[in-house]
């Protein structure tokens, strides 16, 4: 019976994934939104994801937030990125109201910040209710910090073991981990564990690149970056990768064009860039950039990284070391 049940669940998951890929491809074709495969998940998602954190909550009330979510889906965005920590469940509630009628074809992600497994399980059960679904596509461990935090995640009674259980129970199809703080710790976590996906801070200013003899090279006077350290591990293990902090919480707005900031992150080997879009006009603008996307040339990418990292990396590293992702 156990083998039969397992075979049934695996077959259902495969069928669901195939349907999701087809839905994503068709949605992209209809809307003009480019899509990419999210690593070994096999799912096809829009190259821009709707960040549903503080920038969604900035709409101020649920009706306006839902209007933005519906507009994002209408424009071809198929990836929604929420978390319990975003307003202590408020973001999930807003997203859930939209999912009542628009769940099909949407890649639905949430995150759990608890490090104890029993607390994480309670939060996940609440997340499913708030999101009004029996299964999400992806649950991330939210905002991995340094080595001590990783040790808490890895503990026998920690959140990682809880996520393995909820994946086995089909409450989520895939699991992952996010970080905007410590590239070395994220690298270690990705090397050690069976994650399907990861999300990391990837923008031109945090690339940590500097010009030198023979062209661009890592600048050892600055802390190493997610792009240098964690991204290669994720690629090697065929994880689905999404980029975040594209605008560095508005810290890079005005330092380069919005177009180039988005294009830089999407030129990297990622499936999607998660963007906070607190106004409908920003949503329209960013979707337009995504639909017209052309990768930066190698020289354009390196020049932008050199300029922005030289001027902003130290400040942003310090800022995100203490930034609470809420």
Question: Which range, 19-33, 138-152, 207-221, 243-257, has the best average confidence (pLDDT)?
Answer: 138-152
Query: Tens digits of per-residue pLDDT, 231-242?
Result: 999 999 999 999
Q: What percent of the chain has pLDDT over 90?
A: 78
Identify which of 244, 247, 265 has the alpha carbon closest to the alpha carbon of residue 256.
247
Query: Tens digits of per-residue pLDDT, 39-66?
Result: 999 999 999 999 999 999 999 999 999 9
- What residues contact 114, with CB distance under 8 A and at least 6 apart? 120, 123, 159
Structural contact between residues 325 and 274, judged by C-beta atoms closer than 8 angstroms:
no
Mean pLDDT of 88-115: 98
- Quick check: 274 pLDDT over 90? yes
Residue 326 — pLDDT band, cuts 50, 70, 90? confident
pLDDT at 197: 99
Element (H, E) at 63: helix 62-74
Tokens of 317: 């590293």
Residue 316 — pLDDT band, cuts 50, 70, 90? confident
Question: What is the model's pTM?
Answer: 0.88
- Quick check: 135 pLDDT over 50? yes
Residue 29 — pLDDT band, cuts 50, 70, 90? confident
Residue 24 — pLDDT band, cuts 50, 70, 90? low
218 DSSP assignment: E
- Quick check: 300 pLDDT over 90? yes
- Quick check: 139 pLDDT over 70? yes
pLDDT at 313: 83
- What residues contact 315, with CB distance under 8 A and at least 6 apart? 251
pLDDT at 317: 79
- Quick check: 97 pLDDT over 80? yes
pLDDT at 26: 56
- What residues contact 236, with CB distance under 8 A and at least 6 apart? none
Lowest-confidence pick of 48-57, 81-90, 308-317: 308-317
Lowest-confidence pick of 9-23, 89-103, 137-151, 159-173: 9-23
Q: How far apart are CA 21 and CA 37, in angstroms?
A: 9
Residue for token digits 């649950």?
139
CB count, 10 Å around CB of 149? Answer: 18
Mean pLDDT of 234-254: 95
- Quick check: 77 pLDDT over 60? yes
């Amino acid at each position: 019976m156990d083998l039969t049940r397992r075979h049934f669940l695996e077959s259902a998951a495969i069928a669901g994934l195939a349907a999701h890929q087809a839905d994503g491809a068709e949605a992209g074709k209809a809307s003009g939104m480019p899509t990419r495969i999210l690593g070994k998940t096999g799912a096809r998602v829009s190259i821009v994801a709707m960040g549903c954190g503080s920038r969604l909550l900035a709409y101020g009330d649920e009706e306006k937030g839902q209007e933005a979510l519906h507009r994002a889906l209408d424009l071809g965005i198929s990836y929604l990125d929420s978390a319990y920590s975003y307003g202590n469940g408020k973001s999930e509630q807003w997203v859930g109201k939209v999912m009542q009628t628009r769940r099909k074809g949407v890649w639905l992600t949430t995150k759990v910040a608890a490090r104890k497994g029993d607390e994480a399980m309670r939060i996940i059960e609440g997340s499913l209710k708030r999101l009004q679904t029996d299964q999400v596509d992806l649950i991330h461990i939210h905002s991995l910090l340094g080595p001590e935090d990783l040790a808490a995640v890895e503990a026998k009674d920690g959140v990682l073991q809880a996520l393995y259980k909820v994946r086995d129970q089909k409450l989520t199809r895939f699991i992952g981990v996010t970080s905007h703080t410590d590239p070395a710790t994220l690298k270690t976590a990705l090397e050690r564990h069976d994650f399907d996906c990861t999300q990391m801070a990837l923008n031109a200013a945090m690339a940590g690149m500097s010009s030198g003899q023979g062209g661009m090279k890592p600048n050892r006077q600055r802390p190493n970056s997610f792009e240098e350290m964690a991204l290669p591990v994720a690629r090697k293990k065929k994880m689905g990768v999404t980029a975040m902090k594209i605008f560095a919480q508005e810290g890079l707005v005005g330092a380069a064009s919005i177009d180039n900031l988005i294009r830089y992150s999407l030129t990297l080997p990622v499936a999607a860039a998660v963007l906070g879009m607190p106004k409908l006009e920003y949503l329209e603008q960013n979707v337009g950039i995504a639909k017209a996307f052309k990768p930066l040339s190698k020289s354009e990418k390196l020049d932008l990284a050199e300029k922005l990292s030289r001027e902003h990396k130290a400040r942003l590293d310090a800022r995100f070391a203490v930034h609470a992702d809420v």
